[in-house]
Amino acid sequence: MDPYIWREAEVNFPDFVGTAQLDRRLTGDSAFTVAGIDEEKWLVVGFDIGGGEHGHDLHVVAVDLEAVPAGEGSVIDRLLAEHGHIPTRDLLLHDVDPYDFLKSISHDFELRLRTRNTAGKTIMVTNLGDVPEQP
């Protein structure tokens, strides 16, 4: 395979654009370990969920800790000094529901998507409601 730069999320027709942030849950079993990733071998630096109308895949982007140069400082700093980038492996996780995984690693999670024609414009929430309507 040809190496490629792991990029920001991108789709062909971005009808919605936005941001996401996650505060990783630190209690209980590690979702990465439960999903089959040995955290003694891999340093997870990212993950992505993507797909389409017929399902979604979960990919974990991780550093092989056996390939990290010896030395002082953080793993990331040593990799950057050695390679000028962070070399990783894209691991496709099979038999793991991406949304169960997301839920299991989240202490606090927020995903905000807005229609592209509202990007950069102020959206003011002026009323609350429920669907379906609640008593």
Do 43 and 67 meet the contact criterion of CB atoms below 8 Å apart? Answer: no
Q: Read off the pTM.
A: 0.85
Mean of pLDDT over the chain: 92
114 CB-contact burial (10 Å; exposed 0-12 / middle 13-18 / buried 19+) = middle
* Tokens representing residue 109 in the block: 């999670």
Note the pLDDT of residue 1. Answer: 86
pLDDT band at residue 35 under the 50/70/90 scheme: confident
78-107 mean pLDDT: 94
